Structure 1
Amino acid sequence: MAAIRNGMEWLGQLRASQLHQLAVALGCACSGSKKVIVDGICQTLSPAPSGDCRAFNRSSSTSRHPRRQLSIVSIDMGIQNLAYANLLVRQASDRFSQNLPSVGTTNLPVLKAWERLNVFPGDSHDNSMKKSAKLGGYLPSRYADAAYYFISDILVKYDPTHILIEQQRFRSGGGSAVAEWTLRVGVFEGMLHAILQTLQKERKDETKLEAIVSISPARTARFWLEGSQRLTSQIVPSKITGREGKQAKVDIVAKSFLDGESRMVEIGKGQAKATETTFMEKWYATSMVAKELQRHKRTTRSESAATTPKTQKQPKLDDLADCLLQALAWLKWQNTRDLVIRDSRADDPLDAIRKRLEELAGSKNELTV
């Protein structure tokens, strides 16, 4: 990483607010002193943990796969409410930044699968907890079986090149207590990583899997919400509750489906399309943003949404929104990484990166407003 940092002395000339913005755009840590943030940015721009600068230019590795297709599986962790999305992305041969084309083009990532599931079908939360208490704790073997079959199914169905897994925290909301269910999800997360790492190493000649990435949900949320505008044209406050943050991300996804110019994905046929339909039905019924858009006649409720029985069980939307936004954020981070690397080689890298930050601020508003 020292070699990377030596080539980016200009980072130290950016203001603290600019460093913060760049860190958010790259998906790396953005709090702490300027030195801490600069170190985080340099680490993110480093080609590998070893800091091998020969791999700094990603084009050397992608040229062997011109116009290859990436299959990304993004997982929002849970036991009763695990959600995942599969995106197919066309990658250009020159740089990764072609993965997520400009808004308004037709060459968008294709959402092939989008699903929320219970990894133990038939178990309710209460029943599972009661069974656990009678048995003196959860059964690791049962969780291991569920993890193995879930991963095996994902690998067979989607042949992923990249798997993104939401990183769990043992404490939520700053509380000192650790909920038993939180521990279970964390253990299940570890099992997914262990199984994937094992299969990747044992079947390296049989799978396309290139990377298993753990992603902080806080960084994903910050990327989509910090400093952006709500669909109601209101500024998202710097401090919002967890519930408000969840609803804001749901609104971002729903609005992107409605507005062709800000659409972030193309919806595939079959299961993904069915999930989008039910997602929008519940959004129309529950979101204040949807009601405001309808009042201003900016959109109309679809016939299917209008006639959906109120008694019909609807899915949780925040889990579905989280797994999709996690994948899209990760793609944008890779795009930004390549653009920053290119800007760092300009005659005046400081000026180039300042212009880049202005462009990034504008493009994010296009996606969220």
Structure 2
Amino acid sequence: MSLRWLAHLKGVELRTLATSIGINSSGTKAALTASLETQIPRAALLLSHDTPESTLSKGRFKGKARANVLSIDMGIRNFCYSRFLVPESTHIPPQLVQWERKDIGESPKTIDSAAVKESFEPHVYAALAYDVLDRIFQEGHPSHVLIERQRFRSMGAAAVQEWTLRVNMFEAMLYAVLETLKRQGRWDGDVYGVSPARVAQFWVGGEEVVTKASRKKQKKDDEPGEKTVKTSKSKQTKALKMQLVGKWLRDSSKFSVNGQAQESAVKYQNVQTGKEKQSTFGKLDDLADSVLQGLAWLEWEANRQLISEKGMDALPELQKASRSSSGTG
């Protein structure tokens, strides 16, 4: 389908389209139009559109997966990943089959783990990258690998933190190992860097959160009232993302859970509700980020296909999805 109709859209409509496929949504109309014309046709997944009736007759998805998507949230002490099996049908949700957190420094067999904590040596991170990918690939060969894109600076600061350098080096080594496997013919998948800011914008952009900890009663002019204690935007976003994943685990609206991920899903909900201590499972925000990243990428791919097939008629559906995607229930 021709994309000439993009030239007739308003700026807000172009931004909706850009957000819906995970690309930069800022800039002039001309720049957005040019970017959309380039990016919309680049769909990595093509899903079949069978009817809901035929899907129901097949029962729960148990057959061959259309894609095996590995989503990595970068870190060294908190390296989190999730793996989704994606069915061919758009009417069957993906299955979350793995969901884990690892301390990379504790796990390598080829190097001294004590050296990892203080090292900036490339050979150390090369070994770390190979070891972790080797273990993950033994659990199941992914067709698509998503890696959280790292920044060199945080909050616009001039200084670059030491830990940031380490994670960036580890990120680069993961790409190098995957490229080597591909060149050697040992793996035929694809790798994508994913912006965490665009994932957050897609799921919780513009939302506000009020938690129990941020609510305090006060009296004002002898009238009872409620005020929200100011919290940073990043903390609000983290809270919303964790709530969102918890909601999806409860209602199975975005994905089903199977295999090893079932144990992680139970622990996640237990920690979230206070039944278990966080120390027994690890940071929920990093675990949530790996799931949100994987699901966002799958949604972006589905939206690329939707726009290619329906053209301008896809806009109402995308606008509706944009309004409802961040509801935490």
TM-score bin (small chain): 0.7 to 0.9
- Aligned to 1:115, which of 74, 97, 100? 100
Matched, 1:267 2:265: no
Q: What's the CA shift for 1:111? A: 1.1
Residues 161 and 322 (structure 1), Cα distance of their counterparts in 2 relative to 1, 3 Å cut: same
Q: Distance in 1 between matches of 2:99 and 2:116?
A: 31
Q: Distance in 2 between matches of 1:283 and 1:250?
A: 8
Residues 84 and 122 (structure 1), Cα distance of their counterparts in 2 relative to 1, 3 Å cut: closer
SS in 2 for 1:175: coil
Matched, 1:246 2:234: no
User: What corresponds to 2:51 in structure 1?
Assistant: none
Superposition pairs of residues 83-94 of structure 1, within 5 angstroms:
83-92=80-89
SS in 1 for 2:325: helix
Does structure 2 conserve the Cα–Cα contact (< 8 Å) formed by 1:170 and 1:182? yes
- Aligned to 1:40, which of 35, 49, 54? 35
Q: Distance in 1 between matches of 2:133 and 2:280?
A: 27
5+ residue gaps, structure 2, are 49-62, 212-230
Superposition pairs of residues 98-247 of structure 1, within 5 angstroms:
98=90, 101=91, 107-121=92-106, 132=118, 138-203=120-185, 206-207=186-187, 209-227=188-206, 241-247=233-239
Matched, 1:360 2:321: yes
Residues 79 and 19 (structure 1), Cα distance of their counterparts in 2 relative to 1, 3 Å cut: same
User: What corresponds to 1:14 in structure 2?
Assistant: 9
Residues 331 and 228 (structure 1), Cα distance of their counterparts in 2 relative to 1, 3 Å cut: farther
Superposition pairs of residues 58-77 of structure 1, within 5 angstroms:
68-77=65-74
Q: Which amino acid aligns with 2:101?
A: R
Residues 188 and 245 (structure 1), Cα distance of their counterparts in 2 relative to 1, 3 Å cut: same
1:128-168 alpha-carbon deviations (Å, 9 max, x no partner):
69963xxxx52221111110111112222111111100000
Residues 12 and 143 (structure 1), Cα distance of their counterparts in 2 relative to 1, 3 Å cut: same
Q: What's the CA shift for 1:283? A: 1.0
Name the structure where strand makes up a greater proportion of residues. Answer: 2
User: What corresponds to 2:269 in structure 1?
Assistant: 280
Does structure 2 conserve the Cα–Cα contact (< 8 Å) formed by 1:278 and 1:315? no
Residues 120 and 173 (structure 1), Cα distance of their counterparts in 2 relative to 1, 3 Å cut: same
1:299-342 alpha-carbon deviations (Å, 9 max, x no partner):
xxxxxx2xx4x596441001100000000000000000000001
User: What corresponds to 1:296 in structure 2?
Assistant: none
Q: What's the CA shift for 1:364? A: 2.2
Q: Distance in 1 between matches of 2:261 and 2:116?
A: 34
SS in 1 for 2:105: coil
Does structure 1 conserve the Cα–Cα contact (< 8 Å) formed by 2:240 and 2:328? no
1:239-276 alpha-carbon deviations (Å, 9 max, x no partner):
9621211111001000111234xx2111113x312211
Q: What's the CA shift for 1:17? A: 1.4
Percentage identity across aligned positions? Answer: 34
Residues 11 and 231 (structure 1), Cα distance of their counterparts in 2 relative to 1, 3 Å cut: farther
- Taking structure 2 as the reference length, what is the TM-score of the superposition? 0.80
Q: Distance in 2 between matches of 1:323 and 1:312?
A: 19
User: What corresponds to 1:63 in structure 2?
Assistant: none
Does structure 1 conserve the Cα–Cα contact (< 8 Å) formed by 2:71 and 2:146? yes
How many residues get paired?
292
SS in 2 for 1:120: helix
Residues 37 and 158 (structure 1), Cα distance of their counterparts in 2 relative to 1, 3 Å cut: same
Residues 46 and 80 (structure 1), Cα distance of their counterparts in 2 relative to 1, 3 Å cut: same
User: What corresponds to 1:334 in structure 2?
Assistant: 301
Q: Which amino acid aligns with 2:258?
A: G
What is the RMSD of the two structures over their aligned residues, measured on CA atoms? 3.0
Q: Distance in 2 between matches of 1:197 and 1:23?
A: 28
